[in-house]
Amino acid sequence: MDNHTMERLGYDRLELGSERRRLLTQKVTDFIEEHLQKVEKKETACFNINDDRASGLLNFSISEEPKDIGAFYLGPGAARLEQLLISWVAGLFNFPAGFAGNLTSGGSTATVLSFLTARQSKQLKARDFERTVIYLTDALHVCAYKALNVIGLGEAILRKVPMDKKFRMVPEELRKIVKRDKEAGLLPAIVAASVGTTNFGSVDPIDEIADVAEEFNLWLHVDAAYGGFFVLVDEMKYHFKGVHRADSIIVDPHKSLFMPLGLGVVVVKDGYKLHNANILTVEASYLRDVDMFQDEKSPKNFSFELSKHFRGVRVWLPLQLYGIKPFRECLKEKVELARYFTSRLGEIPGFVVDNYPQLTVVTFHYETGNDDTNERVNQHLLERILQDGSVYISSTTIGGKFRLRICVLHFRSHKDTIDFLLSFLTKAAVSLSSGMIKKLHWRKCKV
Ligand SMILES: Cc1ncc(COP(=O)(O)O)c(C=O)c1O
């Protein structure tokens, strides 16, 4: 936050007494009101970005006055502001005009909306479900399975498309499988790809997958919940080739935009399909009045939610206060940190990098020469790191083998954080090579 903005809002520290908090809340609320009025008057809203402090304060400030913005009529400025945010996100991926979207509670809900729209648009009926085929890889996030269950497609056939060595879907394999399914009289319907898988941070070749989707009339869904905002970083843009051809995309500001939890975005290329999948097909006389502004978008018509709080403000205020630059810089820093970790880890005897970061996920392990010992030693390392609590890393399995995993994405993770982890691992390697894992010591490090 620059000094000017701090002065404008009247605070410079986070440790606030109750009077200061009251004043700040008032100022932030006034600031929002002023801008909401501008948007309500259809004046130009300028978009810039934030960090979690402003969002946290904002949550605090609006919690006293809950606003239902499900229908445009109930919160015209807020509803328009959310539409502006959706347009901003769609613009990041070069979606052509005609898109529509919704701000959701996160990636899982956004996926439900995507698949629901796919099902409706393909006019799949219950009698078709057992012949319907969904294409995905083993690396796709599990929220996709849940979403399919929720929308009734739990009975559909799931085809796991092979991945290459970098855990990316192989488009040619997809083509072969779809062709075979079609010839067998099945109903190929959806291909779900990822820009940034959770396990590996891998990025599927979306442009080539889009070719196959077009050839066989599949709905192309892109899960960019984690990876989406890396589009802001110039060096990462090549990962997004062809994303504008997706039928639906999900992206989570509460992941790679560092925003507080509770914010996902879904964008559907043919916006009317999202609308058609969510509008009421029965008369609800008690809702007639809130739909009086036909030329304005009501969030409730683009989601299964009716009442809806003003999620957009959490991302809008930070954008407005800070500008996009700090977010871009922060993402760039995370990419560099993941690369730095990878190259330095390679210098520590015994450690093996299992996948080079495409975005900011790295998996690695200490190699003992024996799979069983590997598992025990690496599990032990993980436990020691987590017990210390200075840094957080996690584990996963690759091909059934236990692996350590870092995902560099917290805005407070900097070089000293990575250096701390590296120094821990260096000490571990020394202890391991002399058979002293249990006696491993490390110093506490503030991150
Ligand atoms: C790639 C990916 N997709 C989807 C999700 C689900 O998102 P959410 O937790 O916001 O529902 C996650 C969550 O970690 C994710 O990493």
Q: DSSP labels for 332-356? A: HHHHHHHHHHHHHHTTSTTEEEEE-
Q: What is the pLDDT of residue 19?
A: 64
Statement to judge: residues 336 and 256 lie in one domain: no
Distance between CA atoms of residues 245 and 222, nearest Å? 10
Among 41, 61, 81, give the residue marking a domain's end. Answer: 61
- Residue 138 resides in a domain: yes
Distance between CA atoms of residues 242 and 211, nearest Å? 9
- Residue 149 resides in a domain: yes
Statement to judge: residues 48 and 102 lie in one domain: no
- Residue 89 resides in a domain: no
Q: What is the pLDDT of residue 245?
A: 98
Give residue 199's domain range.
Answer: 97-275
Statement to judge: residues 102 and 56 lie in one domain: no
Statement to judge: residues 260 and 345 lie in one domain: no
- 227 within ligand 1 shell (Cβ under 6 A): no
How many alpha carbons lie under 13 Å from residue 55 in its C-beta half-sphere? Answer: 23
Q: What is the pLDDT of residue 221?
A: 98
3-state SS assignment for residue 34: helix
Q: How far is the CA of 202 from the centre of ligand 1 (A)?
A: 14
Structure tokens that stand for 388 in this block: 């210390």
The four Cα atoms 75, 78, 79, 81 give a dihedral, to 10 degrees, of 160
- 104 within ligand 1 shell (Cβ under 6 A): no
Residue that has been written with the tokens 């009975």 in this structure? 155
- Residue 68 resides in a domain: no
Among 212, 247, 275, give the residue marking a domain's end. Answer: 275
- Residue 287 resides in a domain: no
Which ligand 1 atom is at minimum distance from the Cα of 105? 10
Statement to judge: residues 261 and 376 lie in one domain: no
Statement to judge: residues 339 and 404 lie in one domain: yes
- 252 within ligand 1 shell (Cβ under 6 A): yes
- Residue 309 resides in a domain: no
Q: What is the pLDDT of residue 4?
A: 46
Closest Cα to atom 7, ligand 1: which residue? 107
Percent of the chain having pLDDT more than 70?
82
Statement to judge: residues 122 and 268 lie in one domain: yes
Q: What is the pLDDT of residue 304?
A: 96
Distances (CA, A) of 121 to 129, 159, 300: 14, 21, 19
Statement to judge: residues 253 and 350 lie in one domain: no
Q: How far is the CA of 143 from the centre of ligand 1 (A)?
A: 7
| pLDDT tens-digit series, residues 38-64 | 655 543 332 223 334 555 555 554 554
Contact 328, 232 (CB under 8 A): yes
Distance between CA atoms of residues 253 and 261, nearest Å? 8
Statement to judge: residues 266 and 399 lie in one domain: no
- Residue 148 resides in a domain: yes
Distance between CA atoms of residues 317 and 31, nearest Å? 9
Statement to judge: residues 265 and 186 lie in one domain: yes
Domain count, the chain: 3
- H or E stretch at 325: helix 325-345
Q: What is the pLDDT of residue 18?
A: 62
Question: Which residue, 97, 92, 70, is CA-closest to 82?
Answer: 70
Among 275, 306, 338, give the residue marking a domain's end. Answer: 275
- Residue 211 resides in a domain: yes
- 357 within ligand 1 shell (Cβ under 6 A): no
Q: What is the pLDDT of residue 54?
A: 57
- Ranges of residues in the chain whose predicted pLDDT is under 50: 1-16, 42-52, 61, 64, 438-447
Write the CATH number for 390.
Answer: 3.90.1150.170
Angle at alpha carbon of residue 423, lines to 419 and 424, rounded to 5° = 120
- 225 within ligand 1 shell (Cβ under 6 A): yes
Q: What is the pLDDT of residue 155?
A: 94
Statement to judge: residues 128 and 218 lie in one domain: yes
| 282: CB partners within 8 A, 6+ apart | none
Statement to judge: residues 206 and 355 lie in one domain: no
Q: Residue 150 — φ and ψ, nearest 5°?
A: -60, -40
Q: What is the pLDDT of residue 138?
A: 97
Closest Cα to atom 8, ligand 1: which residue? 107
Q: How far is the CA of 226 from the centre of ligand 1 (A)?
A: 7
